[in-house]
Structure 1
Amino acid sequence: MRTVPAAPAVRSTPSPSPRRDPHDPARWERPALAAVLGVAALLYAWGMGNAALHPYYGAAVRSMAASGRAFFFGGLDASGSITLDKLPGAFWPDAVSVGIFGPHTWAVALPHVVEGVLAVWLLHRIVRAWAGPFAALTAALVLTFTPVTVVLNRATIPDTALTLLLVAAAGALQKAVRTGRLLPLVTCGVWVGLAFQTKMLQAWLVLPVFAGVFLLAAPGSPVRRAGRVLLSGAVALAVSCSWALIAWLTPTDSRPYIDATSNNNPFSLVFGYNGLSRFGDDATAFGAVPATAASRTTGNTGWGMLVNHVVGPQIAWFLPLAALAVVTALVWRAREPRTDPLRAGFLLWGGWLAVHAVVFSVSNGNHAYYTAALAPAIAALAGGGLALLRTAYGTGGRRRLWLPGAIGLTVAWALVLDGPTWFAPGLLVFAVFFAACGVFGLWSSGPRASRRRVNGSLATGVAAMLLVPAGWAVSSLDPLYAGAATSPTAGPVGEFHHRALRDPAALRRAALGRPSGRDTALLDYLVEHRAGEKYLLATQAAYPAERLLRAQAQPVLVMGGFTGRTPFPGVPRLSDLIATHQLRYVLLTHLRPTTPATTWVKSHCERIRSSDYGWRAKGNFGLYDCRTPADRRG
């Protein structure tokens, strides 16, 4: 008879703790993210009361805060006689802030600070869902310390809102690719449409990338994926064109004249002035005003623009790492299933980066701050790439050399970017030292090395990569290293920086509600002599009007719009306004082009001595009194 063996005795050992859910944050994640967001808020908000207020946009924001008509249509003055030469969407938060807190420079800057911090937080959340917590924290750090991001979030330019909305769109697209659901894809289209309201056609640059990634990597049949892409694209188009369509359907006498157009058509503003004219010499494309191209910046174009001595230090510190990450991920994961989410993420951010780089390279001149739209993509690729290399490092073999090699490459590239100026030699020394420590620690750590040692070496390497770009970013806290308010750049580069070295007066910034003595004297004179006219005065282009509109939200007829070339108002309309006592004074300047309207003013109106309105010298301006001959005889 066989006996059954006795069961082994059960040891009284504690049961193992359950595995942690990968979606639950580790103990270090939330404090680390809070610290990054705190640093971002401090960098962006420091000295907000003296933020780099864009003179033109600042004038419009004050007017939009004072008038519902000016608010919706983006009127440059409180009466809403003519619009900005941009869509108003990016300025609505600024105008709301000024409406709540009053006409202060910091009130205009506050929404941009909030948008910048939200972009960091949202990118962290998106990258974490894609590549894990280490990648997310690295991406948040890179975005926070990208010099062009810091200097732009300390200014009042629409690109902060554009960047935030495009990051939100990428997050929705990532969710749609992962789940195959329609709602996230439609939401992506809505975010892109809202981004269009801030910077127009630039928001559409991501659409081919988003569509391609969804078609390639989302679950479902090809027909189903294509149908959903078309539906999302239709949503993006509808939201994008909503304001222009409303403005187009509004009777012309019930809305402002559309600036930068010869036909008063909002679609000409979007697709002509801010569209096709940026890619050729025909400045009148789609009804854009003449001489549009001449009013734009020159240079910062061509295939080397992202790494030239001005633009490179703003954006390109992690560019080699980003390119390496994309190529490595596509090669290493070539045999993964079509729906591989990790590879899809590299395609998403890599495509974003590539399309923007190509478009900027072929357009006819770019401000350096335009490249802020590349910062989320570069940051995400840097974080995701390091996480990918960290995983390969843990598996051993030849691939473990890629991680220390990437750290060394990035720090060596910092030497190249900083070389033309040698702005941060001390930081470079520390960066090289930290990089050597990190690379040596990773190189000498065998397969049995403790996780703490590997993580410590990796953290040292990340610090080495961040050190020099962070130095450039922090330098923008000094106005000497922040560029012009109309074209922010970090560090000792650009024409504005060199001009400020010769003339410190160039560092004086425009402000809201703080007029100069000359402006106050002129405004007092105009208000005192105003006798029921609709407009306080008319100006030749926006340049003479900006300073007055920033001081007071007054109805000002801005003749010629931003460039001075917009055919508004025509001579018949101008003479009618004067004849019907709706306008009396006109301020002209030789710094803007002569038009039929300005010629008529000089021949029909009387120039006032500058001493009459408290100016010791006439400077670049001349004030004209356009009372009718009958009024003069009386």
Structure 2
Amino acid sequence: MSEDTLTIAAEPNVSAGTTGRPESLDPVPPALSGRGRLIEAAIAIAALVLNAWNLSINGYGNAYYAAAARSMTSSWHNFIYGSYDAGGFITPDKPPFALWVQAASAKVFGYSSWSLLLPSAVAGALAVWLLTITVRRVWGRTAGIAAGVALALTPMMFAVARSSNPDAILVLMLVAAAWATERAVATNTLRWSAAAGALVGLGFLTKMLAAAVILPALGLAVLFGVSVSWRRHAAHIGLIGAAFVAVSGAWVALMDLSPNSPFVGGSTDGSAWNLVFGYNGFGRVFGNEGGGAPGGGAGGGGGFAGAGGVDQFGGTPGIGRLFNMGMGDQVMWLSVIVGVSLIAGILTAVRRRRRDPQTGSLALFGVWAVLTYLLFAYSKGIFHNYYVSALAPAMAALVGIGIAQVLRGGRPARLMAAAAVVGTAVVELILLRRVDAFSWLRIVAPVALALVAIALVLWAFSESMTRWRYVTIGAGLAAGLIAPAMWIGSGLTHAQTATFPDARPAVMSNGGGFPGGGFPGGGFPGGGYPGGGLPGGGLPGGGLPGTGGDGGAGAPGGGFGAGGIDTSVLDYLQASTTTETWILAVGSSMQADTPIIEGYRVMSMGGFSGSDNAMSAERLAGLVRTGQLRYVSGSSGGPGGPGGGAPGGFAGGSGVTTWVASACTVVDLSSVGDGTSTAVIYDCAGKADAILEAAKNAPASTTTGTGTGTGTGTRPTGNGPGGVDMAALQECMVAQGIDASALQGGPPNFADPAVQEAMQACAQYLPAGGPAGGAGQQPGQQPGQQPAQRPGAATTTSSP
């Protein structure tokens, strides 16, 4: 192959024939024509229509963030600090940028499902538009259009654009940073490099270090994209880093230096710094968020219901993890084209040995894709499938870059493209075999792709095929995207899971990984169990119907028991409080989400899962003494289970229950509503000193943390009773409609049918080999028999 075979530089149009000489059939225009701008705008508008169509079907999306957005509309203090509750007690476990946007939308349009989800829909469309422009400026109009269409039709991108999760806004910030970097390379202007770093900083304020993965890609884009002195290169790269640190550090400083800031949810000590480098930082990568030994989730076909038998925790870490069901069908449809495009681009760049915008663009999107893929594939901490939306823009850009190489390359480029299309047909057939819906696609998609591959081979050897180049390229893109487009079509007609967004057919099979639960012979390395995960796959019936959601869930690890608070009880408490900041304090956001969304002033003492160390005896007594808090929720139907391996220790959720049960008075709810409420509410008015005395005399916390019931405990360093991660197991069970009351009071009894059901659906939270200390037997295990071993279990509570 000659050096120029895959050259992408814009040149005057030439006829390529069969010589392998480069052609520039789609040159980069010096200025985009009016028609070109209309096409770009049309793609973005179409993406917005897709994202916003029937948007309210998804309700408020993730209730955790929906509740926070409502609270942030109540005061400037709550807005600036991103408070989860109207009283400013605690924040969500994410920075506030996405919530700022959602709260602003709710303030302008009124608080509703539509106003809350609209920012994500707009962010998704803007990301499509900016990616189209960024790729087009370097690689040409056709490449830009292809990249934009590929991103718009990526199922997971569509899904997060219809959710209140922060991921769509994170993607927009990453694409905007890539756009600014392209401007810095094209103009050699330092202010654009600073803008790129600042935009990544806003990504940090959206989802912390998840945004920082793109920083090496931006630096390499400048290094390889512009031919200047090393000093100038250093200035560009230094400004990217400095702007990122300045923007992200400003929020950390605000939270940690301000005396009026709320407790930072998800942290062990209330500081943003701790959250950045702990639970939401290295803990996500190495699996040390605060539980026991790091470990992944169970792979293959079983998994977290509410997603049609899809394991929403990603499966076992490994190189093939992103091809597991729930990610492979959400973002990996064109993965072979992406890989071949990157390899071909690298070969060309090595041969050309030039620093120019195209080399810089290839470095940007190639490094972005590779780093993100590897990070997600091998992360041992909390991982959810929808995180892969951050990979979608880089993959879409590489699709466009690959098309540019085919258009301007010679025979080898087209033959490589034909091979990539054949590989894409194989991958799509594998993905399509996992579902019961759209069975006709198993024939149509591979056949269409095979025909495109034949056309590419003919084009490589026949000059007469040149006139059909755009038809061939368009047909190839359409054939590759028909399946993901059908996934998106399904997402338009039925609600997605509130906490775990994805776009998928309403009818899914119980199939596992690639055929037989992985690639033949045992699956992708580390990618899942051969044969589809644990015996039995997912829950019978494929998960929860409808939207799923968090409402009414108990507080895993918080010790407050399961069950929501009746509206009649909340109305009674609201009528009984006049000057109090909160009408009720509950254990976790799972109990507080719905009341806050409905406008009740409720506090979550333990954050998302009830396991944050936010409430100490001194603080609780102080709130009671100053009249800010009167009523505290206890357990509903008995004391909650031990905190287990969940992050936090929460001064022991059971510690708070113990204090208020000892010091406060149980409210008689027999005459409230229909008198059937099982909620246990304590009236703590005038009991501040009694709370302190109860905490002083209380025994050591029943959780596995080191707290003593005084709020000074730290995150636990081991698993819960019997080696079971009680908090995460309870959360998984509640989210799937499995009765979690069997877990209250101690390790699970493995003879209980509900626990057996949980073992299949939530097995990643059970210890390898069963609970330690003989706490129970696994189903089918004979007395004295050693239970079957499995890969290491995840040991952390799961937050969005």
Deviation at 1:385, TM superposition (A): 0.5
Query: Counterpart of 1:477 in 2: which secondary structure?
Result: helix
Aligned-partner SS, 2:269: coil
- Counterpart of 1:324? 340
Q: Which deviates the most, 601-610 or 520-529?
A: 601-610
Unaligned runs of 5+ in 2: 1-25, 298-311, 511-536, 552-562, 644-652, 689-800
How far off its partner does 1:135 sit?
A: 0.6
1:507 aligns with 2:514: no
Q: Distance in 2 between matches of 1:486 and 1:571?
A: 32
Residue range with higher mean Cα deviation, 74-83 or 569-578: 569-578
Tell me if the contact between 1:538 and 1:558 (Cα under 8 Å) persists in the aligned partners: yes
Query: Residue in 2 aligned with 1:15?
Result: none
Distance 1:409 1:32, change over 3 A: farther
User: Counterpart of 2:577?
Assistant: 530
Whichever residue aligns with residue 384 of structure 1, its letter is: I
Rg: which structure is higher? 1
Equivalent residue for 2:617, pick from 571, 577, 586: 571
Letter in 1 for 2:499: T
- 325, 332, 336: which one aligns with 1:309: 325
Return the structure number with greater helix share: 1
- Report SS of the residue matched to 1:612: coil
Out of 416, 421, 425, the residue aligned to residue 407 of structure 1 is 421
Query: Is structure 2 residue 261 aligned with structure 1 residue 255?
Result: yes
Structure-2 separation of matches of 1:375 and 1:20: 26
Residue 595 of structure 2 is matched in structure 1 by 548
3-state secondary structure, aligned to 1:241 = helix
Distance change >3 Å, CA 222–CA 615, structure 1 → 2: farther
In structure 1, distance between residues paired with 2:190 and 2:72: 37
Residue 160 (structure 2) pairs with residue 152 (structure 1): yes
- Against the structure 1 CA distance between its residues 29 and 275, is the aligned structure 2 distance closer, same or farther, given a 3 Å change threshold? same
Q: Does 1:624 align with 2:624?
A: no
Deviations, residues 4-57 of structure 1 (Å, cap 9, x unaligned): xxxxxxxxxxxxxxx998234457534543442233122211222232511111
1:418: Cα distance to partner? 1.9
Quick one: which amino acid aligns to residue 64 of structure 2? Y
Tell me if structure 2 keeps the 8 A contact 1:55–1:547.
Answer: yes
State the SS of the aligned residue for 1:263: coil
1:473-514 deviation per Cα after TM superposition (whole angstroms, max 9, x unaligned):
22222436x3x211112225699x966946766535679xxx
CA-CA distance at 1:537 after TM superposition: 1.2
Kindly provide the amino acid, as one letter, of the partner of residue 389 in structure 2. A
Question: Residue 266 of structure 1: which of 264, 268, 272 is its match?
Answer: 272
Equivalence for 2:404: 387
Tell me, yes or no, if the aligned pair for 2:136 and 2:143 is still in contact at 8 Å.
Answer: yes
Aligned mates of 2:212, 2:112 — CA distance in 1: 33
- Counterpart of 2:504 in structure 1 is 491
% identical equivalent positions: 33
Task: Give runs of aligned pairs for residues 26-41 of structure 1, distance below 5 A.
Answer: 29-41=36-48
Q: Is the 8 A contact 2:81 2:91 kept in 1?
A: yes
1:224 and 1:423 map into 2 onto residues whose CA distance is 55
Number of residue pairs the alignment of both structures matches: 595
Relative to 1, partners in 2 of residues 1:260 and 1:223: Cα closer, same or farther, differing over 3 Å? Answer: same
SS in 2 for 1:557: strand
1:220-231 aligned at under 5 Å gives the runs 220-231=228-239
When residues 591 and 367 of structure 1 are mapped into structure 2, their CA distance, relative to the original with a 3 A threshold, is farther
Among candidates 448, 452, 474, match of residue 434 of structure 1: 448
Change (3 A) 1:570 1:249: same
Aligned position for 1:373: 390
How far did residue 625 of structure 1 move? 2.2
- Displacement of 1:357: 1.3
| Distance (whole Å) between structure 2 residues aligned to residue 292 and residue 193 of structure 1 | 31
Post-superposition CA distance 1:323-382 (Å, at most 9, x none)? 111111111332324313222211211100111112112222410110000000000001
User: How far is the alpha carbon of 1:570 from its aligned partner?
Assistant: 0.9
The answer as to whether partners of 1:295 and 1:563 remain within 8 angstroms in 2 is no
Post-superposition Cα deviations, 1:381-427, rounded to whole Å, max 9, x if no partner, equal 011112201222xx4x4443233333232222211222222533223
1:128-277 equivalent positions in 2, closer than 5 A? 128-251=136-259, 254-277=260-283
Tell me, what secondary structure is at the counterpart of 2:440?
A: helix
1:326, 1:347 within 8 Å by CA — same for their partners in 2? no
| 2:476 pairs with one of 441, 461, 483 | 461
Amino acid corresponding to residue 680 of structure 2 in structure 1: G
Residue from 488, 511, 519 that aligns with 1:473? 488
Is 1:343 the counterpart of 2:359 in the alignment?
yes
- In structure 1, runs of 5+ residues without a counterpart are 1-18, 285-289
Which 10-residue stretch deviates more, 156-165 or 604-613?
604-613
1:410 alignment partner AA:
T
Which sits farther off after the overlay, 572-581 or 307-316? Answer: 572-581
CA contact (8 A) 1:438 1:459 kept: no
Corresponding residue for 2:664?
605
Asked whether the 8 Å contact 2:498–2:548 carries over to 1, the reply is no
Instruction: Report the CA distance shift for 1:425/1:84 in structure 2 as closer, same or farther (over 3 A).
Output: same
**Residue 622 of structure 1 aligns to which amino acid in structure 2?**
V
SS of the aligned residue for 2:634 comes to strand
Distance 2:474 2:295 in 1: 48
User: One-letter code of the match for 2:685?
Assistant: R
The range that moved more, 235-244 or 424-433, is: 424-433
AA at the equivalent of 1:333: A
- Identify the residue that residue 8 of structure 1 maps to in structure 2: none
**Residue of 93, 96, 108 corresponding to 1:100:** 108
Contact 2:63 2:593 in 1 (8 A): yes
User: What do the CA deviations read for 1:125-153 (whole angstroms, capped 9, x no partner)?
Assistant: 00000111111111111101101011111
Q: Distance in 2 between matches of 1:437 and 1:627?
A: 76
Q: Which amino acid aligns with 1:454?
A: R
Q: What letter corresponds to residue 145 of structure 1 in structure 2?
A: L
CA deviation digits over 1:91-147, x for unaligned, max 9?
101000111111211110011111000000000000000111111111111101101
TM-score, scaled to structure 2: 0.69
Distance 2:132 2:593 in 1: 39
* Residues 227, 356 of structure 2: 8 Å contact kept: no
TM-superposed deviation, 1:569: 2.1
Looking at structure 2, the residues matched to 519 and 494 of structure 1 have their Cα atoms a distance apart, in angstroms, of 37
Taking structure 1 as reference, are residues 323 and 398 closer, same or farther at Cα in structure 2, changes over 3 Å only? closer
Question: Aligned partners of 1:165 and 1:423: how far apart in 2?
Answer: 35
For the 8 Å contact 2:433–2:442, the answer to whether it is kept is no
Q: Which of 520, 523, 528 pairs up with 2:567?
A: 520
Contact 1:169 1:192 in 2 (8 A): yes
Q: Contact (CA 8 Å) 2:102, 2:119: kept in 1 or not?
A: yes
SS in 1 for 2:604: strand
Partner of 2:372 in structure 1? 356
Superposed CA offset, 1:181-220 (max 9, x none): 2111111111111111001111111112221232233221
CA distance in 1, matches of 2:446, 2:107: 49
1:582 corresponding residue in structure 2: 628
Asked if 2 retains the 8 angstrom alpha-carbon contact of 1:333 and 1:343, the reply is yes
Name the SS for the 1:586 alignment partner.
strand
